[in-house]
Amino acid sequence: MAIVKAKINGIDVEVASGATILEAAKKIGVHIPTLCHLNLEGFGIVNKVASCRACVVEVEGRMALAPSCAEKITEGMVVRTDSLRAITGRRMAIELLLSNHPQDCLVCPKNLECELQALSQEMGVREIKWIGEKMDYPIDKTTASLVKDPNKCIMCRRCETMCNEVQTVGVLSGINRGFDAVVGPAFNLDMEHTACTFCGQCVAVCPTGALTEINDVGKVWRALNDETKHVVVQVAPAIRVAIGELFGMEPGTVTTGQLASSLRRLGFDAIFDTDFAADLTIMEEASELVHRIEHGGKLPMLTSCCPAWVKFFEHQFPDMLDIPSSCKSPQIMMGSMVKTYYAKKMGLDPENVVMVSIMPCLAKKAEAARPELAKDDLNNVDLVLSTREYGAMLHEAGVQFDVLPEGDFDQLLGESTGAAVIFGTTGGVIEAAARTAYEWLTGEELEKVEFSQLRGLEGIRSASVMIKDFELNIGIAHGLGNARKLLEDIRDGKSHFHAIEIMACPGGCIGGGGQPYHHGDIEIIKKRQEAIYAEDRSKVRRKSHENEALKSLYSEFLGEPYGSTAHELLHTRYVAREKI
Ligand code: SF4
Ligand code: SF4
Ligand code: SF4
């Protein structure tokens, strides 16, 4: 590999040919601020449009300042990042962005998380030098998941990169011209009337308050204060390894016990772990896979627990609705069991039960309202909070999460295995299914429960698992662009897989659109993933079918896995949607 030698701030630097000035500076410990730049190294996610100019530097012999995120460093280049010209140029870029920004930071949903705000502080901006004309676009709150406020858009194009290149959905692009230019759907359609999957990855990377989640915190407070309601809550696997970040804890700290304690402090009537429903999902999904294998059913079978993925294939592959598993997602299965089995056991009218979910995900908000998932016109889940919203709720209530003692979930629908917790990461659902399918197909005990060949963060992975003399071929994809490739292979008759796991978010739910902002730091995703696997290792039971509470649920209420009651309550159907 060719090496380039250059000088930055008087320090010699050697980097591989092709590196940017920004990358070279980082190598020698020189920090250059960035805003539009996004580099999720490891996922191949790079936004290098150089539109904001917040990273400009001085290059010897040039009149114009250079955007360090996009400009490659060349042999003998002499760069100054700390000259008055460079610093003034960067500050001016921020001042210009602020000149037509709404500047309502105190009430903005991204307050204290906004990268424009942080950069203003870092660059020493102390006055709004120029007062420009403000945009006056309507705020789009048409979906159950996202809010789009174009007035706060700084045209960094990060969302566009995410939506078009990573997710290949193509909802967001630059629209209008000149002063009116913003990013949004073609023809300025409402988000609700597009093929948006509600994955929330645009929200996860938007540096300002232009893209945020629908806030349901007030509705949950009102439910908790309504004496006529019995309020039940569930918490998804990926929350426990991320929520601590909102309280100053290290990324990847496992906080399962603190989560249970915090929910009790807020006064929920029953607190359940979605991990229980993840085990339930495996009972149904593994049964369906075994059934398809043994009865010549449609293969490959695709997992169906990610609602953004479900909406993606409904829009993009409406001719292939018979290949995904018919299983509802764990959040909906939990809601279904709470409003039937639990309500019956407790003598409650399901109409008075409010099911609240805390999820790493924005798509789960829209999923809860899907009519296909309701039973007798009653939604299985009523309200969904993201990890960030739940953190905000705890802050409002003054709960010091980081010093809480460890508590326990209620047991009726609370017991779970290690197989359930790994649902939180890419590869986890199919590994959990393989643990159970192996024992069911062979009748033998699986001694080595960890399938290391299914783990990792590469966008598309494949592995073969020997189940006696049957070779089960498994595919895994995270990120919808990767999923699209596997789907196209199936459509073209080129797929050799029996089962495929898909998660819409890079990394799976640990990188979900509702998780604490990672600001492009891939190390945070890796630490969350390590924590998920550590939680699995700490469990006494690590296979879903060993869950004792689940055995009681089947014997008392559901009957056989994949039987008629299970079908009625735990399975769903898909709807062909327009490819807008
Ligand atoms: S939520 Fe996902 S699919 Fe929808 S606009 Fe954002 S990135 Fe695109
Ligand atoms: S909506 Fe956000 S991420 Fe997209 S271009 Fe505007 S500021 Fe950037
Ligand atoms: S991967 Fe997880 S967080 Fe992301 S959309 Fe799917 S279910 Fe939601």
pLDDT, one tens digit per residue, over 93-111 is: 999 999 999 989 999 999 9
Q: What's the 161 CA to ligand 3 centre distance in angstroms?
A: 18
Specify whether 169 is located in the same domain as 299: no
Ligand nearest to the CA of 239: 3
Please check whether residue 115 lies inside any domain of the structure: no
Banded pLDDT at 307 (limits 50, 70, 90): very high
Among residues 213, 248, 273, the one where a domain terminates is 213
Specify whether 397 is located in the same domain as 494: yes
Closest CA to 260 of 355, 401, 412: 401
Beta bridge partners of 467: 470
Ligand 3, pocket-test mutation among 505, 525, 532, most atoms within 8 A of CB: 505
Q: What's the 511 CA to ligand 2 centre distance in angstroms?
A: 19
Ligand 2, pocket-test mutation among 157, 167, 175, most atoms within 8 A of CB: 157
| Token pair belonging to 350 | 């399901």
Closest CA to 150 of 163, 139, 162, 141: 139
Residue nearest to atom 8 of ligand 3 (CA): 361
The CATH number of the domain holding residue 560 is 3.40.50.1780
Atom index in ligand 3 nearest the CA of residue 200 equals: 5
Specify whether 254 is located in the same domain as 371: yes
Q: How far apart are CA 47 and CA 479, in angstroms?
A: 16
How far does CA 207 lie from the centroid of its chain? Answer: 16
Q: Give yes or no for residue 166 CB within 6 A of ligand 1.
A: no
Specify whether 192 is located in the same domain as 333: no
Residue nearest to atom 2 of ligand 3 (CA): 509
Q: Give yes or no for residue 308 CB within 6 A of ligand 3.
A: yes
More confident residue, 135 or 490: 490
Specify whether 468 is located in the same domain as 405: yes
Q: What's the 86 CA to ligand 3 centre distance in angstroms?
A: 41
Report the domain count for the chain: 3
Q: What is the pLDDT of residue 544?
A: 95
**Is residue 41's pLDDT more than 80?**
no
Q: Give yes or no for residue 286 CB within 6 A of ligand 3.
A: no
Beta bridge partners of 11: 8
Find where tokens 């998920």 sit.
Answer: 532
Please check whether residue 195 lies inside any domain of the structure: yes
Banded pLDDT at 426 (limits 50, 70, 90): very high
**Is residue 115's pLDDT more than 90?**
yes
Task: Taking residues 324-348, report their average pLDDT.
Answer: 97
**Amino acid found at 156:** C
| Token pair belonging to 208 | 């300002």
How far does CA 521 lie from the centroid of its chain? Answer: 14
| Token pair belonging to 516 | 């604490």
pLDDT, one tens digit per residue, over 244-303 is: 999 999 999 999 999 999 999 999 999 999 999 999 999 999 999 989 988 999 999 999
pLDDT, one tens digit per residue, over 59-97 is: 999 999 999 999 999 999 999 999 999 999 999 999 999
Specify whether 333 is located in the same domain as 476: yes
Banded pLDDT at 49 (limits 50, 70, 90): confident
Banded pLDDT at 414 (limits 50, 70, 90): confident
Specify whether 178 is located in the same domain as 249: no
Please check whether residue 114 lies inside any domain of the structure: no
Q: Give yes or no for residue 427 CB within 6 A of ligand 3.
A: no
pLDDT, one tens digit per residue, over 511-557 is: 999 999 998 889 999 999 999 999 999 999 999 999 999 999 999 99
Q: What is the pLDDT of residue 501?
A: 96
Q: What's the 308 CA to ligand 3 centre distance in angstroms?
A: 6
Ligand nearest to the CA of 192: 1
The CATH number of the domain holding residue 63 is 3.10.20.740
Residue nearest to atom 8 of ligand 2 (CA): 156
Please check whether residue 110 lies inside any domain of the structure: no
Banded pLDDT at 469 (limits 50, 70, 90): confident
Please check whether residue 310 lies inside any domain of the structure: yes
Give the up-direction half-sphere exposure of residue 152: CA atoms within 13 A in the CB hemisphere. Answer: 25
Among residues 75, 99, 123, the one where a domain terminates is 99
Instruction: Assess contact for 132 and 99: CB atoms under 8 A.
Output: yes
The CATH number of the domain holding residue 192 is 3.30.70.20
Specify whether 84 is located in the same domain as 163: no
Ligand 1, pocket-test mutation among 199, 314, 315, most atoms within 8 A of CB: 199
Specify whether 351 is located in the same domain as 487: yes
Ligand 1, pocket-test mutation among 145, 158, 162, 362, most atoms within 8 A of CB: 162
Q: Give yes or no for residue 359 CB within 6 A of ligand 1.
A: no
Please check whether residue 144 lies inside any domain of the structure: yes
Specify whether 289 is located in the same domain as 356: yes
Task: Taking residues 194-211, report their average pLDDT.
Answer: 97
**Is residue 388's pLDDT more than 80?**
yes
Task: Taking residues 31-50, report their average pLDDT.
Answer: 85
SS3 category, 322: coil
The catalytic residues are: 285, 288, 305, 325, 364, 367, 372, 509
Q: What is the pLDDT of residue 39?
A: 85
Please check whether residue 130 lies inside any domain of the structure: no
Q: What is the pLDDT of residue 48?
A: 78
Q: What is the pLDDT of residue 447?
A: 87
Q: What's the 198 CA to ligand 1 centre distance in angstroms?
A: 5
Q: What is the pLDDT of residue 547?
A: 94
Q: Give yes or no for residue 153 CB within 6 A of ligand 1.
A: no
Q: What is the pLDDT of residue 543?
A: 95
Task: Taking residues 144-161, report their average pLDDT.
Answer: 95
Q: What is the pLDDT of residue 42?
A: 72
Q: Is 382 left (phi over 0), alpha (psi -120 to 50) or beta?
A: alpha
Q: Give yes or no for residue 363 CB within 6 A of ligand 3.
A: yes
Q: What is the mean pLDDT of the chain?
A: 95
Q: What is the pLDDT of residue 131?
A: 86
Specify whether 93 is located in the same domain as 179: no
Structural domain for 204, as ranges: 135-213
**Is residue 342's pLDDT more than 80?**
yes
Q: What's the 88 CA to ligand 2 centre distance in angstroms?
A: 24
Specify whether 81 is located in the same domain as 200: no
Instruction: Assess contact for 297 and 291: CB atoms under 8 A.
Output: yes
Q: What is the pLDDT of residue 402?
A: 97
Q: What's the 238 CA to ligand 3 centre distance in angstroms?
A: 10
Q: How far apart are CA 380 and CA 369, in angstroms?
A: 9
Query: Could you write out the DSSP letters of every residue in 328-377?
Result: PPHHHHHHHHIIIIIHHHHT--GGGEEEEEEES-SHHHHHHT-GGG-BTT
Banded pLDDT at 43 (limits 50, 70, 90): confident
